Amino acid sequence: MLFLITVVLAWGLVWPVNKVLLESLSPLWLMAIRSAVATAALFAIALAGGRLARPPRADLPVLLSIALLHMVGFGVLGAWGLQLVPTGRSVVLAYTTPLWVMPGAALFLGEPLTPRRLGGVTLGLLGLLVLFNPLAFDWTSRDALLGNGAILVAALLWAASILHIRGHRWRSTPFDLVPWEMLLATAIIAPLAVVADGPPAADWDGRRVALMLYAGIPGTALAYWATAMASRALPAVTTSLGLLATPVVSVVVATLWLGEALTPSLGAAIVLILGGIALAVTGRRVPDARSR
């Protein structure tokens, strides 16, 4: 439970921290520097635990998938959207990922879309409808359209990565691959940042250095490690439900620290989306088609 609480706090705080860093860094440079810091920390954790080893050839496809879809795709699009969209809305949209995983698992992995799961997806989509109230959403704002769209695409990429993780036959453990995935992500994002944005323009005072170290070490490296540890010791349902507290932490911190308004539509969307996910993951597990 301590590891699970660590993950929730680390990931919950990292969204407001990223929002502040994006005031002086481009999304590409934010993710490049954050990934580089996290890479160093993850290799240090792996070395300290005696678990640093070359990835098995059979795990290379899923390594590439996680690095490209989650760490690069989700990370960069999420940061770009966060630059344009308030923190609370951004994190709620990002955590719609499980809603897209459930129908994807039924389509590609043969996992039954049970009435409980279907009800959870429906409830979550109702939350999205509340969040994107056609009467209240500013359809004329280019930033609103691009920012919200980028985060939703990011959530879909993360969902695709999760589906690959579920369907992959692992040789090593997921955490053993994380340092290599983060290294690959850094090697991809850093050159893109140089080409697209030139040298980073941030004035690196003590505050920004501290925030970036937080984003890279507790907000990324420590969170991945603690997730692996929590998943080993706790039931999957407990871990899944516990992680639903992450966007709540982000919204509370964004409200208290950044002064963002907690609107009625955002509050209702949080309840509906996270409630839908909770409904879907707490049902009795049904074996997928491959195990029958």
> pLDDT tens, 228-285?
888 777 777 777 888 889 999 999 999 999 999 998 989 999 999 999 999 988 865 5
Question: What is the DSSP track for 70-88?
Answer: IIIIIHHHHHHHHHHS-HH
Domain carrying residue 46: 2-284
> Is 247 a domain residue?
yes
Structure-token pair, residue 199: 């040298």
Structure-token pair, residue 83: 């630059």
Q: Which of 124-138, 162-176, 255-269 has the lowest mean pLDDT?
A: 124-138
> Is 290 a domain residue?
no
> Is 24 a domain residue?
yes
Mean pLDDT of 199-205: 84
Are residues 114 and 286 in contact, defined by beta-carbon separation less than 8 angstroms? yes
289 pLDDT band, cuts 50/70/90, is: very low
pLDDT, position 292 = 37
Mean pLDDT of 16-30: 96
104 pLDDT band, cuts 50/70/90, is: very high
> Is 242 a domain residue?
yes
Spell out the residues 6+ positions from residue 75 whose beta carbon is closer than 8 angstroms to its own. 31, 35, 154, 185, 189
> Is 13 a domain residue?
yes
Task: State yes or no: pLDDT of 47 exceeds 90.
Answer: yes
> Is 292 a domain residue?
no
> Is 253 a domain residue?
yes
Number of domains in the chain: 1
Q: Which of 15-19, 126-130, 240-244 has the lowest mean pLDDT?
A: 240-244
> Is 178 a domain residue?
yes
Which percentage of the chain shows pLDDT scores above 90?
73
286 pLDDT band, cuts 50/70/90, is: very low
179 pLDDT band, cuts 50/70/90, is: very high
Task: State yes or no: pLDDT of 288 exceeds 50.
Answer: no
76-93: burial string, b at 16+ Cβ within 10 Å, e else: bbbbbbbbbbbbbbbbbb
